[in-house]
Structure formats: structure tokens, C-alpha cells
Amino acid sequence: MLCDCGCGQPTRLAPQTVIRLGWVAGQPIHYINGHNGHTIHEAGYTEQDCGYKTPCWVWNGGLTTAGYSQLSIGNDRQDYAHRVYWERENGPVPEGLELDHLCRNHSCVRPSHLEPVTHIVNLRRGAATKLTEFAVREVRVLLEQGLSYARVAKTFGVGKSTIGSIATGESWKDVL
């Protein structure tokens, strides 16, 4: 078996079963020591249809605990593979912005599936966000009509404190 990092070198057989490394005694190991997610190459991803407009480039190397592509650059620097692929095609991510996966697949490294956005926009697009910009505008309309925080909160399935933060401008202040 050849190293899964794409270097083309043959791997050795696992001397023993080590579950955390994915080794099975007597079976070929997947990576040469030090190669797991540490080499950038064109075969670093697999093209897969993950439900977005175009296929994702799913990273074959190491992943963070949150599922983001991860690699080492040199001996002392870790980076996200999706960021490296983005920068290869588009140059540096603009200051103050971060990359949002439009395909919602954190292991995707396809530059056309990434968009530089502010941190707050990236958070709002995440799975944990319950309100959209449209919903926030609706919240404000309902509050202007005199509905209570409790009633508006129940309507949108959020807490009264969330509605209060919108009403006072603590959150979503950029949405008019």
C-alpha cells in the first residue's frame, strides 16, 4: 500500500493493533510516520458530491476535532488546508475576514466553496444560529407594534434575552 498523503512511497505493515492510529496488526498502515496531513499535493482531496452546487474537494489528510482540514507547513506551523487552497487561487484572506464554507462541509478545500466574511457573518451562517436577517427585521417590526419580548421570543423559538439584545442594539445592530 502507498502512503495516503500522496507521496507515492510504500508504507509498512502495522506491527500491532493500535486503534487510535487506525492500525491493524499485519495490515499496511495508511501513512509513513510524519506524513499524516503534512504534505500538500494535488491528490490531497477527493472530489465528492456533498449536496452543494458543485462537488466538494474533501480533504484526505488530517482533520481538527471540529472536522476542518489541517496540515503542517514546514516543521513549526499548522494551518487549515482550505485556507492554503484559497490563498493559492485568490491570494491572502483579507485582513479582518475569515473563510466561510458555503457548502457547509468543513473538510472541503475547494476555493469556489469558500467566501471571506467577517466573524459575525460566519457565526450567523452557522448551524447554531436560529435567526436570519429577515427574521431580525420581523422581530423589530413586531416590537414596534408593541408585542412583548416574551411573545416575540416564543414566535421565533428563541429566549427573551435574545429579543432584548436585538431591541437594545447589542446584537444584530448592523441589520436595519
* Pairing outcome for strands 56-59 and 45-48: antiparallel
Tens digit of each residue's pLDDT (9 = 90 or more) over 41-80: 455 788 888 888 999 999 988 888 888 888 876 556 678 8
- Rounded CA-CA distance 110/64 in Å is 17
Residue written as grid cell 481538527: 64
Residue 109: pLDDT band (50, 70, 90) is very high
**Torsion on CA atoms 101, 107, 109, 111, rounded to nearest 10:** -10
What mean pLDDT is predicted for residues 11-21? 82
Helix (H) or strand (E) holding 119: helix 119-125
Percent of the chain's residues with pLDDT above 70: 84
Tens digit of each residue's pLDDT (9 = 90 or more) over 138-147: 999 999 999 9
Q: What is the pTM of this model?
A: 0.56
Cell numbers at 70, concatenated:
489541517
